A and B are shown apart, each in its own frame.
Chain A
Amino acid sequence: MKDYGASATPAETVQVATSGDVVTARQMVRTLAQRGGLGLVHQTKLVTAASELGRNMLVYGGGGVVRAAALSDAGRSGIYVEFRDEGPGIPDVELALTDGWTSGNGMGLGLSGARRLVDEFDIASGPEGTTVRIVKWAR
């Protein structure tokens, strides 16, 4: 995935430390998506993905920061969202992206499901933490 992080400005951020913060984060993403001209289905898919990834970050990464911004690239517009935690990292990213894989109490669709809901998906994980970046284009 192209690095959109720098071009996505101005960014809004939410610190996620409780499940209530996950709700705040997804509301922020929804507001941005509405303003960014995403259709209802695209909005719903993006917010659902943000909910999955926000929860993942809280449960496995011990919380972190969600950063979101409107994006414009090569004539397209969209929404960029970044989830960054300083948790222990995911030992096997490939495995974690497989349907049905879970180490916690979900349906094992968190990462793999979120990836299907967005247009671009990128994950970097190591002992210093995990960063997931997603983009949903307006059309």
Chain B
Amino acid sequence: MKCGNGGTSTPALKVRAGRQIEILGEDDVAIESSTRLLAEKLTAERETFLSQWVRTIGEDLQGRLSMAELGRELGELYEAILQALGTGGLDGRGERYGEVRSLLIELSRNRARQGFTPTETARSVFALKEVLEPSLTGDQEGARAYLQFARLLDDLGLLTTEAYVRTREEIISSQAEQLLELSTPVVKLWDGVVGVPLVGTLDSARTQVVMEKLLQTLVDSDSTQAIIDITGVPTVDTQVAQHLLKTVVAARMMGAQCTISGIRPQIAQTIVALGIEFGDIPTNASLADALRQAVAEVAKESENDARGLL
């Protein structure tokens, strides 16, 4: 589209039309002049703008971050933005803003770890608008430049929120993984007997990890008996029962025997009430009973074997 009615189309309207502005020929010229104006302003009043920016955010953050550190962070960011402007770009997602983006992502990650809210982090970026506003909105050309700069900062502010969310997700998933590792210790209980005490709720991801670890330990330690103790599992529903059953069957196919111990009275009642088919899963009320039985089983095997040469 070419702007045929260029006379009635004010700069403000064009800005509202969003990013498409960049494909319009006459606007390229507008952007170029705005960019130049911004770069000049930001260079000329570097010290004033920067200290004002730091002060505005400093008040917001109320001493939770040292002014020196804040000054350093914002200083780097300011220079990077200035440099990107200098190359004539206003597209925050474009190639010229790569440096700005990586600085912002870094800043957002740090803030996320330090416990700042995503709003506070985004406001750090938006605050630069307030700083620039008084010195730009005097004439029409300045106002146009200001609006374009505001759009750029909005985009960059959103970027910090995206990075913030991503960082939090990473933290959560790595914690979940650590928890998984912590909560499934497979231990050798006796020669030929390994066990895993389960604590907490079982979901399928966790069960998979437990199964895998338990079965691998059987192979590695040449053990034929496995005990899964569920004393610390609060509830057993159909799905949990399914998972336990699968583990027992898998162990059997590998040539080992797997017993479930620690079934508390209320859980036994739930299992019956729900009509869950525990089938032929060998069970024991206590870990002690299960261990005694497993040890006896191992002893019986080796007694038989002692008679031969192998």
A and B in contact, CB less than 8 Å: yes
**Measuring CB to CB, which residues of chain A are less than 8 angstroms from any residue of chain B?**
40-41, 139
Residue of B nearest to A39 (CB): B212
A40 and B212 CA atoms in complex are apart in Å by 10
Q: Is the interface of B mostly helix, strand, loop or mixed?
A: helix
Residue of B nearest to A139 (CB): B205
A-B contact pairs, 4 of them (CB 8 A): A40-B212, A41-B208, A41-B212, A139-B205
Per-residue 0/1 for B209-230: is the Cβ within 8 Å of any A Cβ (1 yes, 0 no)? Answer: 0001000000000000000000
A41 and B211 CA atoms in complex are apart in Å by 10
Q: Is the interface of A mostly helix, strand, loop or mixed?
A: helix
A40 and B216 CA atoms in complex are apart in Å by 12
Contact residues in A for B205 (Cβ distance below 8 Å) = 139
Contact residues in B for A40 (Cβ distance below 8 Å) = 212
B20 → chain A, closest Cβ, in Å?
26
Contact residues in A for B208 (Cβ distance below 8 Å) = 41
Residue of B nearest to A41 (CB): B212
A139 and B205 CA atoms in complex are apart in Å by 8
A41 and B205 CA atoms in complex are apart in Å by 12
A122 and B297 CA atoms in complex are apart in Å by 47
Contact residues in B for A139 (Cβ distance below 8 Å) = 205
Residue of A nearest to B169 (CB): A75
A41 and B212 CA atoms in complex are apart in Å by 8
A40 and B205 CA atoms in complex are apart in Å by 14
A77 → chain B, closest Cβ, in Å?
14
Contact residues in A for B212 (Cβ distance below 8 Å) = 40-41
A41 and B208 CA atoms in complex are apart in Å by 9
A106 and B171 CA atoms in complex are apart in Å by 46
Contact residues in B for A41 (Cβ distance below 8 Å) = 208, 212
B243 → chain A, closest Cβ, in Å?
14
Residue of A nearest to B208 (CB): A41
A9 and B205 CA atoms in complex are apart in Å by 28
A139 and B176 CA atoms in complex are apart in Å by 13
A41 and B247 CA atoms in complex are apart in Å by 14
Q: Which 4 A-B pairs have the closest CB atoms?
A: A41-B212, A41-B208, A139-B205, A40-B212
Within 8 A of A (CB), among B169-216: 205, 208, 212
Residue of A nearest to B173 (CB): A139
B204 → chain A, closest Cβ, in Å?
12
A40 and B211 CA atoms in complex are apart in Å by 13
